Chain A
Amino acid sequence: MTTASPKTRKATAAANGRPKEIVNDFSMTVATKNGSGSQTSNVTLLRAMFRMGIPVSGKNLFPSNIQGLPTWYTIRASKDGYTARRETHEVVVAMNGDTFVDDFRKVVPGGAFYYADDLKFAMDRKDIAIYPVPAKKLAKESGAPAALRDYVANMAYVGVVAQMMDIDMDKIRAALDFHFSGREKPIALNMGVIEAAAQFARETLTKNDPYVVRPMNKTGGLIMADGNTAAALGAIYGGVQFLSWYPITPASSLAEGVSAYISDLRDDPAKPEERTYAIVQAEDELAAAGMAVGAGWGGLRAMTSTSGPGISLMTEFTGLAYYAEVPIVIWDVQRMGPSTGLPTRTSQGDISMVHSLGHGDTENIILLPGSATECFEFGWKAFDIAERLQTPVFVLSDLDLGMNQWMTKPFEYPDVEMDRGKVLWEKDLDKWVHDKPWGRYLDVDKDGITYRTLPGNKHPRSAYFARGTGHDEYGRYTERGDDWERNMARLAKKFKTAVKFLPKPEVKRAKDAKVGILSFGSTDAAILEGRDRLLQGRRPLKTNYLRLRAIPFSREVRKFIEDNKYVYVVEMNRDGQLHQLLTVAYPDLAKKLISVAKNDGLPLSARFVDESIRGEEK
């Protein structure tokens, strides 16, 4: 077994001559062990580059495990502003002996390989640059207490990589300052290791690969955020009053985000003993949904957040909420199913299920955010829609959108007043002027949406007994067929009314384009880049693009399909679930719809979009 020494690599570099620089255009993958504390290092590199004005995205590929299994964090830098997953690895940092051999193999020819120098493996490639990182040694010399030594060891690769790729040390410091909220002690400790590592690199290593960063000005006015935090903050601005949830990957950080931020944003310092909200960690997802249904029925802005397995358990309650007409917001941060599936891998496989979740005839409102800032927007908007329509509103995010770091537009304050929907309090009932007494399910406005009263209303005519069993316009139990059909027809009408309250799709047209791409959610990044790739090469293809933002479909969806010769429906599941829903909704247009589906648990890549569509076009 031979280990390349810095000396031999220096010799190689001299022989080859210094390669031409490739600036701000690479993927850097850091291979570590789960639970080894590398996240701070990775996010520091990501943030430093972001502060240098370079478009970046950060994706964590992690196992379902607390400690010990392999984890990869990938930072993509793209001068063109692309944030989708790139399938190639130009720069690899190997800190995990368990995956060392594979990590070494995956570096592209001409790429750079950084490795912890206590890992002794054969490195038999001449087509890449190889740099040692004396992580253990520097951690030991840092003076860090033994318990922190593994964590600060990760800072060594930050220093070596920063030095070799020209990442601005001031920006690294700024990133650490943010991470540690300005606490000088941890900043100094980590910065010390980084600087020592940079010094080591400066003195002993020679740059022998083309990948470098240079300052740009392409991140001004943008923020870095993950979708779950954005959704949590959005919910707070939406006036969330009740959150019941059960821990599940990849949704937990959404509920925890609400807990983390709500007190600061919502508590009235003048009334420290009075809250406007309650958060409950329930015993399971059934109870989480049940509590949200109780609270939503009681007039609170109620939500729960979960992932696919949780949705399965909540099915019983969402059916009740659909039929008893209870507003609740349910975030589904999708992961790979069926069953427990791949708990830490992304997917868009819940859309069919959620669309008609529950037994009998049901239909659900689905919102489909496509960026972190849209997670914020739908975070508040979902409550307005739920209370307006008195029905569950599902917001389908996914692991990639929810847990990874995205460059995104700043969150915008809600541009409309809160919509509390048709609620009658005591005074409203006094003034009820319709020709019939108030009835909970009486469609006086002929839009399918009826007026509700809330517990605590002291008007003697306000109460009703809510139920999931057959009921008439006055909420009374009935088993009559005509009562049942009338009520179900009204519910169908309500869902026709619903469309005008939902976000419209986002449509991007290209001049003279004849084919379209229709997609939703986190695939946006890959599709934007994929459309650019399709314009290159010998047979360029112009495409129109519709990004769906809600179901039921609005008329813009039909028009988009009509306007294009073909429409590629791109999504991350096996069966082309959105494609199926569209063919059912538009049977007359079904032949124009072509399914492009991918389901390997990884975020979609532009290459996939490009090659799949080109393949179909042949």
Chain B
Amino acid sequence: MTETNGTTTAKGLNTVGLAKNDYRGAATTLCAGCGHNSIANQVIAMAYELNIVPEDMIKFSGIGCSSKSPTYFLSRSFGFNSLHGRMPSVATGALFADHTLKGLAVSGDGDTTNIGMGQFKHIMRRNVPMVYIIENNGVYGLTKGQFSATAEHGLKLKSQGVNEFMPVDVVMEALASHATFIARSFAGDAHQVKELIKAALSHNGIAVLDIISPCVTFNNEDDARHSYGWAKEHQEPLHDFTFVPMEEEITAEYQPGDTTTVTMHDGSKIVLKKTSRDYDPTDRYAAMRMVQETSEQNMLLTGLIYVETQRESLRDIYKLPKTHGLNRFTAKDLRPSKASIKKVNDMMF
């Protein structure tokens, strides 16, 4: 398997001269053992290993425990901790300001599938080039343990009783909304989380990562669908997932027929090594079927569920400048000439 941190120097500096600490943020204020902390750590490791200049990234979040977490990584990247359920619109606008930045957004299941379902669906249909992580734990944490829309039917919570409603499946919603990169993972599987985020960042379009990220305080009983215990027991990776950045070559040897390679927009590659089943992640219909079947079989299917690399992203649809963000234009680029005002008045009557 290819290890992408092979490029780091002995002193622990990567090729852009930064140490892992340079990618950290403020100390976390989430509960000890929270899945979100583990994901934050993988974001830090991912950025360090990919030799990303932090100023080239931009962070977004909504409101909730999950949305606090961008405070805890990449303090040298700009970020916007926006409104509950409204992160997608803020991210869309900000990425118009500088579309050359790599967007990374963190949301929660309440932020995305309760209050934010509308904006979630529309950012997918617009194919905004950005990584959209849903730290999915089935409950509201900051407001003390109410059900979210991803809570499974029949879930019993101490202060809430039994959930009588059917859950929203984030991945199914993403498939229905034409998201172009869809993956599911589990905060307890650090390596998979990290590799998926790397691949997602190289995608030219919306990359939705539904990451089961247990809430140790309110929803971590072993029989609950978003608990560590259940996820560990029921996780079924679709494949061994390896991300190979564009500047590196695939070094590992694979048996023919064992792997599927997906070439991303920037030339990076995703190598998917077959596990127990044949799976083609570019077949949207097959993806829906697989998600439905494994859900019925009580499995937590993880890995790259769907990818479509050729569809135009929002960046391509709008004729944005080739080399810089719109926000670098100055008055001389933005105000029409003085001579043009006569033409405008003539256009009236």
Chain A residues near B (Cβ < 8 Å): 47, 50, 175, 178, 223-225, 229, 233, 236-239, 241-242, 244, 261, 265-266, 273-278, 280, 282-284, 286-302, 316-317, 320, 410-414, 417-418, 420, 453-460, 462-469, 476-477
Contacts and interface: CB of A to CB of B under 8 A. Distances in A.
A287 B89 contact: yes
Interface centre among B83, B100, B328, B330 (most CB of A within 10 A): B83
Given A294-B80, A464-B78, A239 B334 contact: yes
A280 B326 CA distance: 15
Contacts of B336: 236-237, 265-266
Contacts of A265: 336, 340, 344
Interface in B294-339: 318-322, 324-331, 333-336, 338
A236 B75 CA distance: 36
A91 to B, nearest CB: 22
A455 B327 contact: yes
B349 A178 contact: yes
B101 interface: yes
16 contacts: A239-B335, A241-B334, A244-B89, A261-B347, A276-B326, A283-B122, A290-B93, A291-B89, A293-B89, A294-B94, A320-B82, A410-B345, A411-B341, A455-B94, A456-B78, A456-B101
A291 B93 contact: yes
Given A299-B327, A465-B81, A466-B81, A413 B341 contact: yes
A441 to B, nearest CB: 15
A290 B340 CA distance: 32
B119 interface: yes
Contacts of A466: 78-81
B167 interface: no
Interface centre among B70, B94, B331 (most CB of A within 10 A): B94
B90 interface: yes
A242 B96 CA distance: 8
Contacts of B81: 465-469
A411 B331 contact: no
B71 A465 contact: yes
Given A275-B319, A287-B119, A294 B329 contact: no
A284 B85 CA distance: 13
B96 A295 contact: yes
Contact of A295 (B26, B93, B320): B93
A225 B348 contact: yes
- Chain B interface size band reads 35 or more
A116 B336 CA distance: 47
B118 interface: yes
Interface of B: 26, 53-56, 58-59, 70-71, 75-83, 86, 88-98, 100-101, 118-119, 122, 318-322, 324-331, 333-336, 338, 340-341, 344-345, 347-349
A56 to B, nearest CB: 11
Contact of A277 (B79, B326, B335, B341): B326
Contact of A413 (B77, B329, B338): B338
A467 B60 CA distance: 10
Contacts of A296: 93
B331 A239 contact: yes
A284 B98 contact: no
Given A286-B86, A418-B334, A477-B71, 15 more contacts: A224-B349, A265-B344, A280-B92, A282-B122, A283-B118, A291-B92, A294-B82, A297-B97, A410-B345, A420-B330, A455-B327, A463-B54, A466-B79, A468-B81, A468-B83
Given A223-B349, A225-B348, A275-B318, A420 B331 contact: yes
Q: Can you list the 7 inter-chain pairs with the closest CB atoms, starting with the nearest? A: A298-B97, A294-B93, A290-B89, A239-B334, A299-B327, A456-B98, A291-B93
A509 B329 CA distance: 44
Nearest to B22: A460
Nearest to A464: B78
A418 B86 CA distance: 31
Given A223-B349, A265-B340, A294-B93, A414 B335 contact: yes
Contacts of A411: 341, 344-345, 348
A468 B96 contact: no
Contact of A301 (B58, B100, B334, B347): B334
Contacts of B92: 280, 287, 290-291, 294
Contacts of A239: 329, 331, 334-335
A276 to B, nearest CB: 5
A498 B314 CA distance: 37
B334 A290 contact: no
A455 B326 CA distance: 11
A336 to B, nearest CB: 27
Contacts of B53: 458
Given A275-B320, A277-B326, A411-B345, A454 B122 contact: no
A236 B319 CA distance: 18
B83 A297 contact: no
A410 B342 CA distance: 9
Contacts of A274: 319-322
A455 B58 contact: yes
Given A290-B93, A410-B345, A456-B325, A317 B331 contact: no
